[in-house]
């Protein structure tokens, strides 16, 4: 069904509704209207990395891990798998007339905010710190969720529009200040791509204000940009209870009825929360009109018609058996393998099973299910922790010893015990092992959303980059023992890995790898698969020189603006092969001035000089000679490349015209430079990447 027909049917239906009926449809828990054959519908469902909070589902790696894959095709496949499972569950719930929360086919995903500061607790819900990476992966994920059939398979939602990335504890009253240059250079490009390229059906506003206006009632962002410049035709939903913040926290209104008026007039069609329960009060006071309610209701019912809720569709026959089916579990496994980033390897990896007698697996995340799944997760029917993955892989051939080592963040595991009551056991395991796999990090109880149950600091944000003290002590002790050890970092954000980098034989960033992520980690450790993930965020030495968390300027934040050498750079990741770029050249001779109107590709010859097959991520960066350009070369394009041992191949990578533009102080894209440098390699063209890999990018100037 095309949108025009859906709008026609929605308008015809909505025009039959009374004011009371209209009011009931603008809430996330929309009521039934029996006389019009409209069943109740709960709009709130989550699909960040699997259907969430509604029972069994395939649990894929957390979004930041999906970001580390740099794999657009994979993201579309993951989105499709999630939407198919959502439809299958929806079909069965409809049969049982179960229309509860988290049971619908409007998925409030993906989170395409930019991970600007490593302290932000929700950063692991995003695809990383670069707008091009986020945009490309976000668009692919949306296409997977929504499909390309006659009807939408599910409706995706790009959130949280738009300048939003902490602090969590202040989000309900915080005002994020961003210049027009920063907005259009950093915070808006990925949303623009989701709307104009991904045709996302919904956009969710953020809790905070941006430059003084509440994000769920923002004249510039919602009127001028989203619907005006970008031509967004879908519906706009508030973050949950964000409209209540208008009068209770932001003080931009004085009471709920005024908040209703402001939100609806700005185009916030759907309220996640309770404030739209005051719609009738506002109507009776003359603050809003029936026509205003109809406008939002038509948008919402347009989405429902596009989803085929009132028709028979091809999706009605999707069987329940697709939930956690073999194909989806294999896809989750592939995603986990591609997400793992090898940060350091002194030659110890890959491990050889026949050379080992005893492996020590130590750490609070070694046997943790919580460390597999991140937040906004579903429930898997089976989990494979790192410990279990290693045990399953080596079987009876190698003895595996285990110690938790310490509590995730408390000083002792047993309440009546002394501090570090698991340390001596960890030392014993290390002493009796040929090598140690040390599994450290966080989980959703330490980094996540404000108010999440069990969150250690309530806010969800990190105070610094250090591991919890209990883990830091464990790391220091293992590092001081005469046993080789490999660190597996299970976090969704940058941590202080200076000690691990200095002392460990190998370091892997494995994120929150999904319900059966332990198998993928074992496959990487033992060389069944070569690692191929790349960092979607910068891993800093420390926070020194970084602006205050509440400062939304990008100075010294992310690889595009960083002023000092990081520990591990954005785009970096090792493998077990020897991949290299032999040559790179433009597919045509053009000048910088012509780049605005002429598509340019780089033709790249790549090779694997190693003796094992691998995948790697070819990356293209651009830096324009212009006063308005960001300080460091910026990602322009990327392509995942598979290379057999000894193989050479030629790859063509298209550079979008926009990569040759810069953003001026008024937020306008300009092609005002004198020349542009193009860098091609398997990492970014910075000094630290060259140090770590021993390879330089190839530079082209136009």
The DSSP secondary structure of 407-454, one letter per residue, reads: -SSSS-SSTTSPTTTTHHHHHHHHHT-SEEEEEEE--TTTSS-TT-TT
Element (H, E) at 597: none
Per annotation, catalytic residue among 71, 130, 239, 523 = 239
Report the alpha-carbon distance of residue 354 to residue 579 in Å, rounded: 27
Whether the Cβ atoms of residue 508 and residue 531 lie closer than 8 Å to each other: yes
Of residues 68, 134, 126, 67, the one with CA closest to residue 508: 68
Q: Cβ(520)–Cβ(340) under 8 Å?
A: yes
Give me 562's structure tokens: 């960083």
The residues pairing with 624 across neighbouring beta strands, listed in sequence order, are 676
Mode of pairing for the β-strands spanning 614-624 and 634-643: antiparallel
Q: Are 299 and 234 in contact (CB under 8 A)?
A: yes
Spatial strand order in the sheet of 600-608: 579-586, 600-608, 648-655
| Active-site residue, 464 included | no
How far CA 505 is from CA of 134, 261, 445, 682, in Å, comes to 32, 61, 29, 23
Q: How many residues does the chain have?
A: 702
Half-sphere exposure of 513 (CA within 13 A, CB side): 35
Which token pair is 260?
Answer: 């209703």
Side-chain-side CA neighbours of 102 within 13 Å: the count stands at 15
How far apart CA 552 and CA 573 sit, in angstroms, is 28
Do residues 47 and 80 touch, judged by C-beta distance below 8 A? Answer: no
First to last CA, the chain: 46
Catalytic residues: 239
């Amino acid at each position: 069904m095309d949108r025009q027909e859906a709008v026609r049917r929605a308008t015809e239906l909505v025009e039959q509704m009374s004011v009371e009926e209209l009011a009931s449809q603008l809430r996330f828990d929309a009521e039934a209207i029996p006389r019009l054959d409209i069943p109740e519908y709960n709009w709130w469902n989550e699909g960040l990395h699997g259907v969430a909070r509604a029972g069994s589902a395939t649990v894929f790696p957390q979004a930041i891990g999906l970001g580390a894959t740099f794999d657009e095709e994979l993201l579309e496949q993951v989105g499709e798998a999630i939407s198919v499972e959502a439809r299958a569950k929806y079909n069965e719930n409809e049969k049982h007339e179960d229309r509860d929360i988290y049971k619908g086919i409007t998925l409030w995903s993906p989170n395409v905010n930019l991970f600007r500061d490593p302290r932000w607790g929700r950063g692991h819900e995003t695809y990383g710190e670069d707008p091009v990476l986020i945009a490309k992966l976000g668009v692919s994920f949306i296409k997977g969720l929504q499909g390309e059939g006659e009807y939408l398979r599910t409706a995706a939602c790009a959130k949280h529009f738009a300048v939003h990335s902490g602090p969590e504890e202040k989000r309900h009253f915080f005002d994020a200040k961003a210049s027009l240059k920063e907005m259009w250079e950093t915070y808006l490009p990925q949303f623009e791509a989701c709307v104009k390229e991904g045709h996302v059906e919904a956009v969710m506003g953020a809790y905070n204000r941006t430059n003084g206006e509440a994000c769920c009632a923002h004249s510039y962002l919602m009127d001028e940009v989203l619907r005006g410049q970008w031509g967004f035709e879908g519906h706009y939903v508030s973050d949950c209870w964000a409209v209540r913040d208008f009068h209770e926290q932001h003080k931009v209104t004085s009471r709920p009825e005024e908040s209703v008026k402001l939100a609806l007039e700005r185009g916030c069609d759907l309220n996640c929360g309770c404030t739209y329960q005051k719609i009738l009060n506002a109507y009776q006071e003359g603050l809003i009109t029936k026509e205003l309610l109809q406008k939002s209701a038509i948008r919402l019912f347009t989405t429902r018609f596009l989803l085929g809720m009132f028709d028979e569709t091809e999706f009605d026959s999707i069987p329940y058996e697709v939930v956690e089916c073999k194909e989806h579990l294999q896809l989750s496994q592939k995603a986990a393998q591609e997400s793992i980033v090898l940060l350091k390897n002194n030659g110890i990896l890959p491990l050889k099973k026949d050379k080992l007698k005893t492996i020590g697996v130590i750490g609070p995340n070694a046997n943790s299910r919580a460390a597999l799944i991140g937040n906004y997760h579903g429930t898997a029917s089976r989990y494979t922790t790192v410990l279990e993955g290693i045990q399953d892989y080596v079987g009876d051939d190698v003895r595996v010893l285990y110690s938790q080592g310490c509590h995730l963040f408390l000083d002792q595991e047993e309440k009546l015990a002394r501090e570090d009551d698991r340390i001596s056991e960890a030392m014993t395991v290390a002493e009796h092992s040929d090598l140690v796999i040390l599994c450290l990090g966080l989980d959703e109880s330490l980094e996540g959303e404000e108010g999440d149950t069990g969150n250690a600091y309530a806010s969800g944000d990190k105070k610094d980059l250090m591991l919890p003290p209990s883990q830091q002590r464990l790391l220091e002790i293992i590092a001081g023992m005469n046993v080789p050890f490999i660190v597996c970092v299970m976090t969704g954000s940058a941590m202080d890995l200076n000690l691990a980098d200095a002392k460990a034989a190998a370091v892997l960033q494995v994120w929150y790898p999904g319900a059966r992520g332990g198998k993928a980690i074992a496959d990487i450790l033992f060389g069944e698969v070569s690692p191929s993930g790349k960092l979607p965020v910068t891993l800093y030495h420390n926070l020194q020189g970084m602006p205050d968390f509440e400062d939304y300027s990008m100075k010294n934040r992310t690889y595009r603006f960083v002023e000092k050498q990081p520990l591990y750079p954005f785009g970096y990741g090792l493998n077990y092969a020897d991949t290299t770029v032999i040559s790179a050249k433009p597919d045509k001779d053009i000048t910088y001035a012509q780049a605005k109107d002429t598509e340019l590709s780089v033709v790249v010859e790549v090779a694997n000089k190693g003796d094992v097959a691998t995948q790697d991520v070819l990356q293209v960066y651009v830096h324009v000679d212009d006063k308005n350009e960001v300080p460091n070369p910026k990602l322009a394009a990327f392509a995942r490349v598979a290379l057999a041992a000894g193989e050479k191949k030629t790859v063509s990578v298209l550079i979008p015209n926009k990569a040759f533009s810069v953003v001026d102080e008024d937020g306008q894209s300009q092609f005002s430079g004198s020349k542009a440098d193009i860098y091609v390699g398997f990492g970014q063209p910075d000094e630290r990447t060259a140090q770590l890999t021993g390879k330089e990018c190839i530079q082209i100037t136009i």
